């Protein structure tokens, strides 16, 4: 299973950390079957995470509230707090 995880990580240590966190939290089991089901690579894992957020909060909420904040954070050169986001009209 270790070799399988290393292959799925595609050289990114953060992938292994995310998987180990999920195992520790009981979100996935440490079995060959479970490891086979998780996506390969960090990009795939992020896609899986964001798809789960979309299904959890609904498309309207996701598009209206979450996407604007994520877009603002993606282009910022420093950390932003709620005051900064409010200035940009993201938080009301």
- Is 66 in the same domain as 31? no
Q: What is the pLDDT of residues 26-45, one digit of tens each?
A: 988 888 898 888 889 888 88
Band of the pLDDT at 24, cuts 50, 70, 90?
Answer: very high
Give the chain's domain count: 2
Distance of alpha carbon 87 from alpha carbon 77, whole angstroms? 16
> Is 40:8 a contact under the CB 8 Å cutoff?
yes
Same-domain check for residues 31 and 53: yes
**50 and 65 together in one domain:** no
- 35 and 15 in a common domain: yes
Under 8 Å between Cβ of 40 and 10? yes
Same domain as 27, residue 67: no
Mark whether 87 and 71 lie in a shared domain. Answer: yes
Give residue 37's domain range: 1-57
Same domain? 50 vs 63 = no
């Amino acid at each position: 299973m270790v070799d399988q995880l290393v292959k799925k990580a595609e050289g990114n240590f953060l992938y292994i950390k995310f998987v180990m966190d999920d195992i520790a939290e009981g979100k996935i089991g440490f079995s060959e079957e479970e490891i086979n089901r998780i996506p390969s690579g960090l990009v795939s894992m992020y896609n899986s995470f964001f798809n789960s957020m979309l299904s959890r909060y609904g498309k309207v909420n996701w598009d209206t509230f979450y996407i604007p904040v994520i877009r603002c954070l993606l282009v910022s050169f420093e950390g932003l707090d709620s005051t900064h986001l409010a200035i940009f009209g993201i938080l009301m």
